[in-house]
Structure formats: C-alpha cells, structure tokens
Amino acid sequence: MFRSFSCLLIAASIASAGPKAKPIAAQHHFESVLQGQRIQHQFVLRNEGDEALRITGASVTPLMKLLKSAAVIPPGGETQLAVAVETADLAGDYEGELRVQLNDPAMPEVVFTMRGRVVPPIEFKPMAAFYAPAEKGKGASRSIEILGNDGTELQILEIKHTEEFFTTRLETLESGRRYRLTLNVLPDGPVGRHTEKIEIRTNHPKHPVLFVEANTWLRYRVFAFPEKVDFGAIPTAQVQAGRTDAPGLVQVVMLHSSGAKEFKAGVTSSDPLLRVRSQAGPTGDRYQIWVYLDPVHAKPGPIKAQLIIETNDKEFPRLEIPVGGELLNPRQ
C-alpha cells in the first residue's frame, strides 16, 4: 500500500511539473473616453508552475499596442502586459484583444480583452444623418441629438440648408451641452428622393462647422419599392438555361398602399421577356411581385421594359415601373 501511495505522489508530481499560466482579470472594461485620449491598461499574467513560462508570441487588434512585457516568467512570478489604444480614429463601442502565445501545453494561448466606448468631442445620436420617408400630403418628422462631450460650452450658431424639401427646428435640452435637431419633411414638397448636407455652425474652436446628411423620400400613398428594376448584366446563356438560382435572375418589388385594408393589384409587363408573379400580403395593404426573365425570349441586348400595375385605388389606378439591364452575348 505504501508503494502504491508513493507512486501516486510521483505521478501527481510529474503531472504538475512545468509552467502553468494563470491570467489575472483577463477582461478590462473602461467607461466612456473622449476621442483622442490614449487608453492604457496593464494586464497581469502569473506563472503558478515550477518551470519558466515563456511568451513565444503576441498579437493585438488594430490601434492597440503592446508596450512592454517580460519574455520569461519564473516559477511563482508574474509579468505586467502594458497595452495602449490610440483613439483619434475611433468612435462608438470599442473591443480590442491581446493574444499571447505561451509554452504552457495546457494553455498555449491567453486572450485579454478591452472593451469600452469612445465618444467624439461633439456627438450625434443616434447618428449624423436623417432618414425620413413621408407620404405626400402628410409629411414626417425625425430628430437627432447633438451632444458636447469635451467640456466646451457648446453653442449652435446657425443651421443652413435648402428650404424646398424640409424645415428644421433646434431645441435646447441642456444649455451648452445638449440640443435636439428635428427635421420636418414638407408634406407638399417635390415628390421623390432627396439628399443634401445640413450645415451646422458652432462656437467650438476645433469644430466650427459640422454636417448632417438629410435623406428624404416624399412618396404617394400608393408606391413601389424599388422604384426601378435593374437586372444588371447577365449572360444570356444563364437565362436560356432556365436558371433562377443565379444572383440577379429574379428581382422582387414590393407594392404598398398606405392605410389600405382591401388593396387589389394586377401586374403585367410590356415585353414578353418579363414574366411576373404576385402575391397579396396578409394585412391587405401590399403585394410582393417577382420578376423573371423568360428563357424563350432571352436574346443578347439591352433590357428596356415596364411593369404595368393596375389597382383598385381610384386615385392611383395605374403605375408603371421601369425595368432595365442587359443580356450579354457569349463573348462579353
């Protein structure tokens, strides 16, 4: 029995021999940091084995740097792995990794993570852009917040944009720090999509002019999305083979009637090259339309056709959707 017990002790001793890595607090979370400030942290790696623990390699995610670390950690010792993150080009949530390769067979790699949020001196929430679809005759409103994060007494001095498509309104939520900018799509403005830059002038010494992108889409109550169908460039042979699984061979159009409950629509095409199939949605206010290319009529050349939609809506009884693209010959 004594011999058996001795063998067990020897076996256990052999099993525990060698380096043994133990990361201390492998995850670090920092609170909001102002853009441009350097983030520094020291991760700790301990060796609880009875042989030297060697760092054989290390890698970091972009913008993170490993500043210093011992290459060899003696038994019972530890090393600090100092890292830094440059935040000049960062904004929003950040997650970085330090991966360390070791000579520990049980833990050949240790991953240290750093998480937090980097805020710019002037921040737009949720983003520096408006996306505002609206129905003709009704209009729509969207709002964003403007926040000063660097301690400067922020003042909005002027807001400049065209006045044909929308208006804007500025509200002070917290003097010198928080503002709400609201965009109102003009209900009787020009129908269609419009994009422009809203210019915001401030008293900030480093950011005297800011820009917010305004994207508006004033549409009729009955509308199709997309407004045009584009098949792109497709080899004629793919269409003639009757394939529908290749990218671009089937296009989908959604037809909407805002507020309708019993909307009806029929779809045809101006060219036998196009085959169409439609299905009403469960809410009674929309249709899904599938557009195919007919193998029998597929010949090299441009696609110029229209989808013709007839509806039960007295105000919008007929819509026409342009269809374009090109069928390539074998040499193209």
- Write the CATH number for 323: 2.60.40.10
Residue 245 has a pLDDT of 67
Residue 249 has a pLDDT of 87
Tokens encoding 181? 């900018």
Do 220 and 191 touch, CB atoms closer than 8 A? yes
Which of 69, 89, 119 is where one domain is finished? 119
Task: Tally the domains of the chain.
Answer: 3
Question: Any long-range contacts for 164-169 (C-beta under 8 Å, 24+ apart)?
Answer: 164/189, 164/190, 165/189, 165/190, 165/194, 165/196, 165/214, 165/216, 165/218, 166/132, 166/214, 166/216, 168/198
pTM, rounded to two decimals: 0.74
Same domain, 59 and 150: no
Contacts of 282 (CB under 8 A, 6+ apart): none
Same domain, 226 and 319: yes
What does the pLDDT look like over 166-215, one tens digit per residue?
999 999 999 999 999 999 999 999 999 999 999 999 999 999 999 999 99
Answer yes or no: is 6 within a domain: no
Low-confidence residues in the chain, pLDDT < 50: 1-2, 4-15
Same domain, 226 and 324: yes
Which of 189, 219, 249 is where one domain is finished? 219
Which of 119, 135, 160 is where one domain is finished? 119
* Residue 305 lies in domain: 222-328
Q: Element (H or E) spanning 6, and its range? A: helix 2-16
Answer yes or no: is 5 within a domain: no
Answer yes or no: is 277 within a domain: yes
Answer yes or no: is 321 within a domain: yes
> In 3D, which of 114, 118, 167 has the Cα closest to residue 140?
167
Answer yes or no: is 146 within a domain: yes
Answer yes or no: is 3 within a domain: no
Answer yes or no: is 299 within a domain: yes
Same domain, 261 and 232: yes
Answer yes or no: is 8 within a domain: no
